[in-house]
Amino acid sequence: MRVNAYAAPAAGEPLAPTTIERRDVGANDVLIEIQYAGICHSDIHTVNGDWGPQPFPVVPGHEIVGVVSEVGSAVTQHQVGSRVGVGCMVNSCGTCTNCRNGNEQYCDDGMVGTYAATDRDGTTTQGGYSTHVVVDADYVLTVPESLDPAAAAPLLCAGITTYAPLRHWGAGPGTKVAVVGLGGLGHMAVRIASALGAEVTVLSQSLKKQEDGLRLGAQDYFATSDPETFEQLAGRFDLIINTVSASIDLNAYLGLLAVDGTLVNVGAPADALSVHAMSLISRRRSFAGSMIGGIAQTQEMLDFCAEHGIGAEVEVIAADQVNEAYERVLASDVRYRFVIDTSTLG
């Protein structure tokens, strides 16, 4: 079926209206009428070519919420009319150790991204800046009805990207967690870490978002532009979640960790990051990275957010505002996530 969409025709060029072909609904497929699609910084990196050559034209979008409009003959877990979501992956091999262990995001054959990736049938995936999408049912999530659908869309990337490391490294009562950056990822990290029971501190370049950070659940908020911050907080944290997609002085931040503390990068800067070995050795600290979660953990995250009333703080826009939204994301002029109302695609 032909559907309306917004696509980037080439690297660095503005997105424009287009139509794309969606495959027929197979036995294990779900056809979703998309209602909302979040804008992720990853979308911008991809269409700008920051992460290498892409199979243009590219329809971005991996924060998708919509309603099931058709299911394949073998589908039992989703029904027509149900509210569902699709995140950053739409397929994996399903047979490797990681897939069998619920870590499909680390598939040995490479997970299939929701856009700009080669699917198992050889076609190029196209994302959520469109009116409809067809997805294998095993990669479709149930979005609890108590969640606002627009606020739920960013949970499919920003939510699980921060929930996964917080759970893996044991954030909870008695732990001290710092979140670097209060943007699309950072504001979700603060809300989720707080709901898990951790003591949360925001580390941001300035104090201009301090009121927001405290409202979202942080106990403390410090400006990293102030050198005294790194002296005052030295050795304090059990876990630091770095959400920024730009180069930072990792060694300075590692100095904020307690013995056995971990700094986890979830932001993905285009440039390499440098770490001095002594920053790790001196207090048995760790520097780690984390992607999204597997399908089961993503569903766990959605249910957790519904239980705790957690959604992203969003600005809903029409599709023809997407290029302006990209510029504003790069200028840090959004609190805290843009979401496209896909009914405006026509």
Phi-psi category of residue 277: left, alpha or beta, with phi > 0 → left and psi -120 to 50 → alpha: alpha
Phi-psi category of residue 338: left, alpha or beta, with phi > 0 → left and psi -120 to 50 → alpha: beta
User: What is the Cα–Cα distance from 3 to 187, expressed in whole angstroms?
Assistant: 33
Q: At a CB cut-off of 8 Å and minimum separation 6, what does 166 contact?
A: 177, 189, 192, 193, 196, 198, 239, 241
Is the pTM higher than 0.85? yes
| pLDDT tens-place values along the chain, 346 residues long | 999 999 999 999 999 999 999 999 999 999 999 999 999 999 999 999 988 899 999 999 999 999 999 999 999 999 999 999 999 999 999 999 999 999 999 999 999 999 999 998 899 999 999 999 999 999 999 999 999 999 999 999 999 999 999 999 999 999 999 999 999 999 999 999 999 999 999 999 999 999 999 999 999 999 999 999 999 999 999 999 999 988 899 999 999 999 999 999 998 877 888 999 999 999 999 999 999 999 999 999 999 999 999 999 999 999 999 999 999 999 989 999 999 999 999 7
3 state SS of 140? coil
Residue 242 CB neighbour total at 10 angstroms: 26
CB 66 within 8 A of CB 32: yes
Q: At a CB cut-off of 8 Å and minimum separation 6, what does 185 contact?
A: 41, 158, 161, 162, 243, 266, 267
List, in sequence order, every residue forming a beta bridge with 99; answer none if it has no partner. none
- Least Cα distance to 187 among 158, 221, 207 occurs for 158
User: What is the Cα–Cα distance from 207 to 199, expressed in whole angstroms?
Assistant: 19
And the tokens for 231? 């002296």
List, in sequence order, every residue forming a beta bridge with 262; answer none if it has no partner. 239, 286
What is the Cα Rg of the chain in Å? 20
- Least Cα distance to 154 among 13, 322, 281, 42 occurs for 42
Q: What is the DSSP letter of 15?
A: P
Question: Can you tell me which residue has the tokens 């200028």?
Answer: 331
User: In angstroms, how far is the first alpha carbon of the chain from the final one?
Assistant: 15
Question: Can you tell me which residue has the tokens 């299939």?
Answer: 112
- Stated as kind and residue range, the H or E segment containing 61 is none
User: What is the Cα–Cα distance from 71 to 7, expressed in whole angstroms?
Assistant: 26
**Residue-level pLDDT at 269:** 79
**Residue-level pLDDT at 121:** 87
3 state SS of 239? strand
